[in-house]
Homo-oligomer: A and B are copies of this chain.
Amino acid sequence: MRLVIARCSVDYAGRLSAHLPIATRLLMLKADGSLLVHSDGGSYKPLNWMSPPCTLSTVEPDAEQLDAGITEIWRVTQAKTADMLVVSIYEVLHDSAHELGIDPGLQKDGVEAHLQKLLAEQIHLLGDGHTLVRREYMTAIGPVDILARDAAGAAVAVELKRRGDIDGVEQLTRYLELMNRDPHLAPVTGVFAAQEIKPQARTLAEDRGIRCLVLDYDAMRGLDDGESRLF
C-alpha cells in the first residue's frame, strides 16, 4: 500500500462525471491497483475512487499543465467499464509504501439471521398461544422468514426486517397472496416484524390487514451473551 498526501485535483468520467477542485488530500494506492481519494472528514466513503481491477499509469504533464503548476498526472483506468480517474498532482507532501499482506477478513454476526433465531425461540412474542411451524418456510416465490400458527391454529406468516420499510410490506403481501391460494394453508394472516417500522410502511401494512410488531432486539437477546463482551 502506498500512501501519498498531495495537493491535487481529480476528475472522474464513467457512469457519471465528477470533479474535485484543488486541495490537499490522501491518495491511497492499494496492492490490487485500486485508488482511493480521501479528505480529512466525512464518512468512510472516499471523495472519489477507482475499484479493482484497474491500472495506474503516470502521464507527463504537457507545457500548459506544467505552467499551471502540475508536476505529475496519474491516470487510473478500468479495462472493463472504460471508467477513468485522472489525478493532477501539484505538490507531494508525503509519500510512503508499506507491505501489509493479505487480510484474514472480517468475521461478523448478522442481525436479521440473529433476530429470526431469537423470534423463533420466543414465538410467544407474536401473541399468546402461538406455535412455531418453521423458519424459512419455502414458497414458489421464495422463503417466508417464519411460519407459525395462532392459538386457533390458523397460519401466520412473519416477515422480519431490521428496519421495516415499504418494500418489506410489499414482499409479505406477495407471499400472503400466494399462500392464501393454497387450500392447505388458507387463511393466512401476516405479521410484519422489525426493530423499527417506518410510518409509511405501518400505514400500508395495516391498510392491508397486516399486523405490525416492533421488536426490542436488546431485550430479546438478553444481557448475558457474547454481544456484551467488550463492555
Contact = CB atoms under 8 A, between A and B. Distances in A.
A229 to B, nearest CB: 8
A26 B94 contact: no
A23 interface: yes
Given A13-B227, A16-B108, A44-B51, 6 more contacts: A13-B230, A40-B100, A93-B98, A94-B98, A167-B170, A170-B170
A38 B31 CA distance: 12
A26 B4 CA distance: 13
A80 interface: no
B47 A46 contact: no
Interface residues of A, number: 64
Question: Taking the full assembly, how many copies of this chain does it contain?
Answer: 2
A16 B111 contact: yes
Interface of A: 1, 3, 5, 11, 13, 15-21, 23-26, 28, 30-32, 34, 36, 38-49, 51-52, 84, 86, 93-94, 96, 98-111, 162, 167, 170, 226-231
Nearest to A85: B230
Contact of A101 (B40, B94, B103): B40
B100 A231 contact: no
